[in-house]
């Protein structure tokens, strides 16, 4: 996978994960153009499009578009499954996830994504294991924070 973008129906970016080195300017340009292209598509259309020299796979979940750019030899259908898996993870973590959750807890959305994909490839195929890892990492963060808070009180 080259990159993944999450954006709203108004074209507002909610998450961007880039797995290829591009300048900020290039990223902005790609984002702007691709968002425009995807938003222009009608509801019943194909989830796949050829854009520039990339294959783009996208799917809309409620008010959010999940959009991935994959390599030529990648399997489009399994990419749809990857997108679906990510949505399921978010859903499990936030409890019936909605766009606001991702807006107000964007850094967590990234942490979850980084526990599921690494370098653009799926690293863990078990939903349970991904969620367990996130839980443990969160716990670690909390414990350390608590430790710090306690030390300040004393």
Partner 1 sequence: MSPSVPLQEMIRAIRSARTQCEERGVIQRECAAIRAQFRQADNGGRSHNLAKLLYVHMLGYPAHFGQMECVRMIASPRYSEKRVGYLGAMMLLDEKQDASLLITNSIKNDLSHSNQYVQSLALCTLACMGSAEMCRDLAPEIDRLLRASNSYIKKKAALCAVHIVRKVHDLGELFAPAARSLLAEKNHGVLHGAVVLIIELCERNPETLERFRKTVPDLVQIMKGLVLSGYSPEHDVAGISDPFLQVRILRLLRILGHNNEGASDAMNDLLAQVATNTDSTKTVGNAVLYETVLTVLDIKSESGLRVLAVNILGRFLLNNDRNIRYIAMTSLQKIVGTDHNAVQRHRGTIVDCLKDQDASVKRRALELSLALVSASNVRSMMKELLLFLSSCPAELKAHAASGIFNAAERYAPSQRWHIDTILHVLTTAGGDVRDETVPNLIQLITNASELHCYTVHKLYRALLTDISQQSLVQVACWCIGEYGDLLLRGECQETEAVQVTEDDVLDALETVLQSHMSSPTRITDNVDRIRSIVSIYGSCIDVELQQRAVEYNALFKKYDHMSLFPPPVCGFPQVCDLLDLLGGSEETLQPSPAVGAPAPGLLINTASTAGGDLLDLLGVLEPAPLAPGVTLRHTHTHTHTHTHTHTHTHTPQSDTGLTVTLTASNSTDSDISSFTLQAAVPKLYLSLAGPFLAASHYIKSFLLQVNLKMRVRISYTSQGSAFQDTVQIDSFPGLDAAGQ
Q: How far is the CB of 144 from partner 1 (least distance, A)?
A: 5
Binders of partner 1 among residues 11 to 50 (CB under 8 A) are 13-16, 18-19, 21-23, 28, 42, 44-50
Is residue 95 part of the contact set for partner 1 (CB under 8 A)? no
36-41 LR contacts (CB < 8 Å, sep 24+): 36/11, 38/65, 38/67, 39/9, 39/11, 39/65
Which residues make Cβ contacts (< 8 Å) with residue 89, sequence separation at least 6?
112, 116, 127, 130, 131
Query: In angstroms, what CA-CA distances link 100 with 74, 78, 81?
Result: 31, 27, 23
Is residue 54 part of the contact set for partner 1 (CB under 8 A)? no
Closer CB to partner 1, 76 or 91, in the complex:
76
62: left (phi over 0), alpha (psi -120 to 50) or beta: left
For 57, the 3-state DSSP assignment is: strand
Pick one of 11, 29, 63, 104: the residue that binds partner 1 (CB under 8 A). 104
Is residue 76 part of the contact set for partner 1 (CB under 8 A)? yes
Interface residue list for partner 1 (CB under 8 A): 13-16, 18-19, 21-23, 28, 42, 44-50, 73, 75-78, 80-82, 103-108, 110-111, 114-115, 118-119, 121-126, 128-129, 133, 136-138, 140-142, 144-145, 148-149, 152
């Amino acid at each position: 996978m080259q990159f993944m973008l999450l954006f709203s129906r108004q074209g507002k970016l909610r998450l961007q994960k880039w797995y290829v080195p591009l300048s900020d300017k290039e990223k902005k340009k790609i984002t702007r153009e691709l968002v425009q292209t995807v938003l222009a598509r009608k509801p019943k259309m194909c989830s796949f499009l050829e854009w520039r020299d990339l294959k783009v796979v996208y799917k809309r979940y409620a008010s959010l578009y999940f959009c991935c750019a994959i390599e030529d030899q990648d399997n489009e259908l399994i990419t749809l499954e990857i997108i679906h898996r990510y949505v399921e993870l978010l859903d499990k973590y936030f409890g019936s996830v909605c766009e606001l959750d991702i807006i107000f807890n964007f850094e967590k959305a990234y942490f979850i994504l980084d526990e599921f994909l690494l370098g653009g490839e799926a690293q863990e195929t078990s939903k349970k294991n991904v969620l367990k890892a996130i839980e443990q990492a969160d716990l670690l963060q909390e414990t350390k924070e608590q430790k710090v808070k306690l030390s300040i009180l004393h």
